[in-house]
């Protein structure tokens, strides 16, 4: 828990600064936008957090977003599948990808980095293949389906909650309950820190690992569906490109250790929101956005450094006090 205070502080600081520099930041319209984007990236980040907690990594996530994001409109508008069937297909596809990763990693013991890096190359390539590099989208159709991503739920007068936020809420609550309250969550955490201890305790580590990759790909699939419904078009070459890095960054910022065994869902959400607020800030406050990434990088770095330094100073002060108390006594 302590670990997320730093990042939460950073998020609040960035929000305050942006609000003071731009009147529009706190407008209902802007808040809804930022919430929607944070929700979309939050879903991806929670997925990858599961894998990171087991001590693995999933680099394929952006490509799964791309594959699913291209497949859904392609199935609907080019292949003219009925909506439920198309949705079922992309869900099965993303879960299947996760299963495939999990099996390669557990049964054949191939490093997760390699498996998912190949996935990164492969799935985008497949999407480019079946779409023949064409942009796919819904055009003016499927409006009601698209409400899943673009819809709004009235919250209080003048402020609506974007639909993806509800998805995120459900996913986050399920994930948090799963991790903290169920035996399987416990197994995941144990497996991440000490796979041997987990095995010796009679835990089926393979099944848990596979589960983590299925969750990761599954949520990437959900993210892909929501992204394409929101944006309304997907170009296979760059749809979802680099999203794996954003998601991993959010998870790690939110307190997941890449060594496994640690992670909090709240932290991950804060991490995902931070990235989106930063991007929003840059467009609202500055008139150039080509240094956007530089600023994000710099802020994250400064935040992490500041967090570390305050922690150290606090520890030093505490030590000094203890010593003083001790020598005085």
Partner 1 sequence: MSSPILEARAICKSFAGVRALKGVSLAVHPGEVLAVIGENGAGKSTLMKILAGVQAPDTGDLLVDGVGRSIRSVQEALSLGIALIHQELNLAETLDVGANIFLGREPHRWGWIDAGRVSREARAVLGQVGLLVDPGTLVSTLTIGQQQLVEIAKALSVKARVLIMDEPTSSLSDHETQVLLRLIRELRAKGVAIIYISHRLGEVHGIADRVEVLRDGENAGHLSRSEISHAAMVKLMVGRELSQFYPHQTHPSGEVALEVRGLRTAAYPAHAVSFEIRAGEVVGMAGLVGAGRSELLQALFGVVPALAGTVRVAGVPVIAASPRDAMAAGLALVPEDRKHDGLFLEMGVRENLSIATLHRDQRVGFLNRTKERDLCAEMIPAMRIKTPNTEQPVQFLSGGNQQKVVIGKWLATRPRVFLLDEPTRGVDIGAKQEIYRLMEELAAKGVAVLFVSSDLEEILGMSDRVLVLHEGRLNGELSRSELSEEAVMRLATGGNHSTAVAAS
Partner 2 sequence: NKPAAPSVAEGEGKLKKIAFVTNGVASFWTIASAGVKAAARDLKVDAQTLMPAEGISDQKRMIEDLLTRGIDGIAVSPIDPVNQTELINIAAKKAKVITHDSDAPQSERLLYIGMDNYKAGRMCGEMVREAMPNGGSVMIFIGRLEQDNSKRRRQGTIDAILGRPDNSDHFDEISAVLEGNGFKILGTLTDQFDRAKGKANAEDALAKYPDLGCMVGLFAYNPPLILEALAQSNKLGTVKLVAFDEDDATLDGIEKGTVVGTVVQDPYMYGYKSVEMLSALISGKPGVVPSEKFLDIPARKIRKENVVEFRSELKSRLSAAQ
Q: State the residues that interact with a copy of itself by CB under 8 A.
A: 59, 104, 108-111, 113-115, 117-126, 128-129, 132-133, 245, 248-249, 252-253, 257-258, 290-298, 300-301, 304-305, 308-309
Binding to partner 2 (CB under 8 A) within 287-326 occurs at 287-290, 292-293
**What residues have CB less than 8 Å from 110, skipping those under 6 apart?**
104
Nearer to partner 1, 132 or 326 (CB): 326
Residue from 1, 108, 132, 329 binding partner 2 (CB under 8 A): 132
Residue 114 binds which of partner 2, partner 1, a copy of itself, none (CB < 5-8 A, kind-dependent): a copy of itself
**What residues have CB less than 8 Å from 50, skipping those under 6 apart?**
175, 188, 211, 212, 215, 216
Distance from C-alpha of 7 to C-alpha of 250, rounded to nearest angstrom: 10
- In the bound complex, what is the minimum distance in angstroms from residue 83's beta carbon to a copy of itself? 28
196 binds partner 2 (CB under 8 A): no
Closest CA to 240 of 97, 40, 50: 40
Residues of 55-73 as b/e, b for ≥16 C-beta within 10 angstroms? bbbbbbbbbbbbbbbbbbb
Strands 152-156 and 233-234: unpaired
Listed ranges 88-96, 109-117, 128-136, 309-317: which one lies at the site for partner 2 (CB under 8 A): 128-136
Residue 266 binds which of partner 1, a copy of itself, partner 2, none (CB < 5-8 A, kind-dependent): none
Q: Which pair of structure tokens corresponds to residue 146?
A: 């698209």
Strands 152-156 and 159-162: antiparallel
Residue from 5, 100, 130, 184 binding partner 1 (CB under 8 A): 184
- In the bound complex, what is the minimum distance in angstroms from residue 75's beta carbon to a copy of itself? 19
192 binds partner 1 (CB under 8 A): yes
Distance from C-alpha of 275 to C-alpha of 246, rounded to nearest angstrom: 8
- Token pair 């990693």 is found at 105
- In the bound complex, what is the minimum distance in angstroms from residue 194's beta carbon to partner 1? 5
DSSP annotation of 76: I
Nearer to a copy of itself, 173 or 298 (CB): 298
**Contact positions vs partner 1 (CB under 8 A):** 181-184, 186-187, 189-190, 192-194, 196-204, 257, 261-262, 318-319, 322-323, 325-327, 329
């Amino acid at each position: 828990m302590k670990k997320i205070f730093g990042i939460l502080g950073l998020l609040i600081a960035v929000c305050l600064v942006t609000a003071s520099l731009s009147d529009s930041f706190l407008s209902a319209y802007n808040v809804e936008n930022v919430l929607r984007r944070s929700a979309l990236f939050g879903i991806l980040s929670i997925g990858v957090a599961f894998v990171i907690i087991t001590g693995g990594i999933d680099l394929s996530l952006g490509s799964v977003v791309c594959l699913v994001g291209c497949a859904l409109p392609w199935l609907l508008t080019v292949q003219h599948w009925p909506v439920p069937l198309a949705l079922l297909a992309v869900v099965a596809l993303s879960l299947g990808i996760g299963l495939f990763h999990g099996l390669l990693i557990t049964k054949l013991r191939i490093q997760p980095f390699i498996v998912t890096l190949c996935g990164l190359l492969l799935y985008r390539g497949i999407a480019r293949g079946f779409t023949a590099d064409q942009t796919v989208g819904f055009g003016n159709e499927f409006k009601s389906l698209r409400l899943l991503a673009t819809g709004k739920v009235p919250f209080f007068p003048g402020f609506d909650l974007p639909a993806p936020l509800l998805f995120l809420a459900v996913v986050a609550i399920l994930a948090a309950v799963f991790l903290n309250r169920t035996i399987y969550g416990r197994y995941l955490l144990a497996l991440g820190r000490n796979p041997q201890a987990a095995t010796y305790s009679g835990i089926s580590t393979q099944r848990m690992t596979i589960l983590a990759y299925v969750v990761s790909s599954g949520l990437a699939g959900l993210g892909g569906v929501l992204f394409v419904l929101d944006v309304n078009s997907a170009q296979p070459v760059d749809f979802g490109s680099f999203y794996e890095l954003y998601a991993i960054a959010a998870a790690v910022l939110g307190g997941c250790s890449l060594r496994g065994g640690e992670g909090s869902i709240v932290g991950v959400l804060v991490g995902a929101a931070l990235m989106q607020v930063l991007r929003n800030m840059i467009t609202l406050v500055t008139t150039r956005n080509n240094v956007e990434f530089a600023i994000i990088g710099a802020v994250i770095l400064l935040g992490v450094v500041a967090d570390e330094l305050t922690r150290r100073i606090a520890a030093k002060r505490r030590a000094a006090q203890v010593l003083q108390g001790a020598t005085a006594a």
